[in-house]
Structure 1
Amino acid sequence: MTRATRCGASFTRCTPPFFPYSGVNYLFAPWISWLLLLESSPFMAPKTVPYLVLWWLFAVPVVMLDVKIYGQWFTKGKRFLSTVANPTSQMSVIGNLVGAQAAAHMGWKESAVCLFSLGMVHYLVLFVTLYQRLSGGDRLPVLLRPVFFLFFAAPGVASLAWESIVGSFDIASKMLFFLSLFLFTSLICRPTLFRRSMRRFNVAWWAYSFPVTMLALASTDYAQEVKGTISHILMLCLLALSFLICLSLTLFTFLNSKMLLPDNDPIANLVIQFPVAD
C-alpha cells in the first residue's frame, strides 16, 4: 500500500529504489502480498475457478522474476552473486514458497513441490553466500538493516509451505521452524546491529513485521502438533510480539505519514551506492 501510494502521487519517487540490486528484489513484494491475501480470503475456496485464475495471475510474475534474477546469477560470472547478494535477495525465495503454499491449498502438489524446491535451493545458495560475508556483504545501507529479519522469514514460510504440501507439521516443517527460531534469536541478541537504523522512523521498519508474523504462524502450527506447555508459551510470546510490532509500526506510520512521500527520500538516494542492473 505504501509503494502504491508513492507511485500514485509521484512516479519519479517510486522508480529509483527499484534500480539498485537491493531494491529490485521488492518487485516480489506485491505478488507475495496478493498470494497471501488469496490464501486467507474467506470469500474464495481454494479449488474454485476464481482462486485458480488469481493464482496464475500472481504466480506467473514470480516465476518470470525468478528467470530474470536467477538467470543473472548463472550467467554473470562467479563473483556476480557475491557482489549483489544481500538480505533482500531472499524476497525471491519467499515468493516461491508463498506460491507453493497457495498451490498446495488447491491440491496442486506437483506445482507446489516445484515452486518449493526452486525456492529452497536458491535459499541455500543465498544463505551460504551471505553467511560467508563475501565481497558486497557489507554494502547494505544502515537504513535498510531491518531487512536482516528476512533471514528467518524464508525458513518460517518454508515450514508453513511444506506443511501445506504434506498435510501435517512433520519433521521437515519442525526443522525449518527451529532454523527460523534460531536465526530470529541470533538477530535479537545483537541489538547494536539495528541501533543506527532505529534513530529515525522510515518505512524500512516494516521489514520487522512480516518475518515475525510468519514465525508466529509457524509456532501456532507447531504448538498444535506438539501440544506441550513450552510450545504453547512460545506460541503466545511470538503472537504477542507480532501483534505489538504491527501495532507499533501502524502508530509510527500514522504519526509520520509525511515520510511516505518525502521531498528528500533517504532510501531513494541510496541508489548512488549501488551498481545498476543490466
Structure 2
Amino acid sequence: MANSIDIIVKNSNGDEAEAAASASSILTIVNAAYFTISLSLGAQAVLLNTLIEDHATTKLKYNFVVADRILGPWAMLMTWLSLCTLALISSLYILRCVFHLWLVKAEYSDREAVNFLFVPWISWLLLLRATPQQVLVRLPHEVLLWALVAPIVALDIKLYGQWFTSEKRPLSAVANPTSHLPMVGNFVGAWAAAGVGWRETALCLFAVGMVHYVVVFITLYQRLTGFRAALRPVSSLFFGTPSAACLAWSAISGGFGVACKMLFFLSLFLLASLMCRPAYFKKSIKKFSVAWWAYSFPVTFVAVASTQYAEEVKGVAAGGLMLLLSSLSLLVFVAMLILTALNTDRLLRQNDSSLSFT
C-alpha cells in the first residue's frame, strides 16, 4: 500500500530482507476476532484469582498453601499479560477504525463478525474482574463499569432489534455459534455489575441475555448449517455461555442455588457432547487461526463455575471435578499460547483468509 511502512530486518549474513507484514497491513488483518486472545487471558486470570480466594479448596483438604504461592505470581502475571495484550490489540483496532473504517463497517455488516464486536468490552470487563481489590479501590471502577457496559447495551439494541424486526436478516437466517457472544456480553456485564452492588442493572442485563440465549440456543439446535469450518472452534460457546449465565446469576442471587446448578450441569452436558464429536472440528484444525482461541475461554468459564459449585457442595467429587476442569482449562490455554507463538507469521499474513470478514 502507498502509506505502508515496511519493516526491514537483517539476517545473519548481513543481507537485508523485507518482513512479511507492514504497519498498514497489520491494521487490515487485526479484526475484532483477535480480541478472543485477550478474552482468554482475562478469563484465565479470573480463574487463578478465584482458586486463590476460594475457601472450598482448604476445606477439601488440598494443599493450596503451596498452590497459593505458585498461583499468586501466576495470577498476577496473567493479569498484567491480559492488560498488555488487550491494550495492544485495542490500540491496533482503534488505528484500524481511523485508517481503515470501511473494514470496520464490513465487520459491522457481517453476520459473524458483528458478534465479535462484543468481545473487546467483555475482555475489559473480565480484566476489571481479575484486578486485585486493593488496586480496584483506587480506580473509578464504577465509571469504568458504565463505560464498558454501555457499548454492550447499545450493540444489544442494534443486534437484537435487527433479529426481532428485520425481514432481510432475521435470527433464523443469520444464526451461528458466534451469536452466543452477545449473550456472553450480557452475562459478564451482569456478573460485573452485581459485583459492585448494582443489582437492578445486573438483573436487567441478565434478563435480556437469558431470553435471547434460549431463543438462540433453540434456533441453533434446529439448524446448524452453512457455518464456515474455520470458525467451528467458536462452537465451544455452546457450553461457555450457560457457564457465564451461571456465574452471573450466582453473583446476583448471592449463592450457588438450584438455577446455578442447572446451568452448570447444562454446561457439562454440552461440553461432553462436543468432546465426543471430534470429527465436527476436523476441518477447522487443518490450519491454525485466531479462532482457535475460542477453545480456551469457554472451558475457563466452566472451570470458574466449578469452583463455586465445589464451594456449595463441599464434596470430594465436586472438588475433583473442579481440579479436572481447572487443569483442562490450563492445558488448553497453554496449548493456545504455544500454537500462537509457533504460528505468529501466519496470523500476520495478509493472504491468510481463514478468518477474513471482507
Q: How many angstroms does 1:6 deviate by?
A: 5.9
Q: How many angstroms does 1:50 deviate by?
A: 0.6
Q: How many angstroms does 1:49 deviate by?
A: 6.8
Q: Which moved more, 1:63-72 or 1:224-233?
A: 224-233
Residues 15-94 of structure 1 mapped to structure 2, 5 A cutoff: 15=104, 16-42=106-132, 43-45=135-137, 50-77=140-167, 80-94=170-184
Q: How many angstroms does 1:269 deviate by?
A: 4.2
Q: How many angstroms does 1:78 deviate by?
A: 9.2
Correspondence for 2:351 among 264, 267, 271: 264
Q: TM-score, normalised by structure 1?
A: 0.90
The alignment partner of 2:117 has SS state of: helix
Q: TM-score, normalised by structure 2?
A: 0.70
Task: Summarize deviations over 1:91-132 as a string: whole Å, max 9, x none.
Answer: 100101111011101111111111100100000010111111
Amino acid in the other structure paired with 1:24: V
The alignment partner of 1:150 has SS state of: helix
Q: Is the 8 A contact 1:31 1:58 kept in 2?
A: yes
The alignment partner of 1:77 has SS state of: coil
Correspondence for 1:101 among 191, 194, 197: 191
The alignment partner of 1:264 has SS state of: coil
Whole-angstrom distance in 2 between the partners of 1:30 and 1:102: 15
Cα 1:64–1:225, aligned 2, differ >3 Å: closer, same or farther? same
Structure 1 equivalent of residue 311 of structure 2 = 224
Q: Is the 8 A contact 1:7 1:14 kept in 2?
A: no
Structure 1 equivalent of residue 56 of structure 2 = none
Amino acid in the other structure paired with 2:262: M
Q: Is the 8 A contact 2:250 2:257 kept in 1?
A: yes
Q: Is the 8 A contact 2:236 2:295 kept in 1?
A: yes
Does the alignment pair 1:130 with 2:220? yes
Q: Is the 8 A contact 2:193 2:202 kept in 1?
A: yes
Correspondence for 1:112 among 194, 198, 202: 202
- Structure 2 unaligned spans of 5+: 1-29, 36-88
Task: Summarize deviations over 1:133-152 as a string: whole Å, max 9, x none.
Answer: 1xxx3121001000000111
Whole-angstrom distance in 2 between the partners of 1:182 and 1:266: 33
Structure having the higher Rg: 2
Amino acid in the other structure paired with 1:21: R
Q: Which moved more, 1:137-146 or 1:24-33?
A: 137-146
Cα 1:9–1:262, aligned 2, differ >3 Å: closer, same or farther? farther
Cα 1:159–1:228, aligned 2, differ >3 Å: closer, same or farther? same
Task: Summarize deviations over 1:140-167 as a string: whole Å, max 9, x none.
Answer: 1001000000111110011111111111
Whole-angstrom distance in 2 between the partners of 1:66 and 1:174: 27
Correspondence for 2:283 among 179, 193, 196: 196
Whole-angstrom distance in 1 between the partners of 2:168 and 2:214: 16
Whole-angstrom distance in 2 between the partners of 1:40 and 1:98: 12
Q: How many angstroms does 1:215 deviate by?
A: 0.2
CA RMSD of aligned residues (A): 2.1
How many equivalent pairs are there? Answer: 266
- Structure 1 unaligned spans of 5+: 272-278
The alignment partner of 1:267 has SS state of: coil
Whole-angstrom distance in 1 between the partners of 2:110 and 2:168: 19
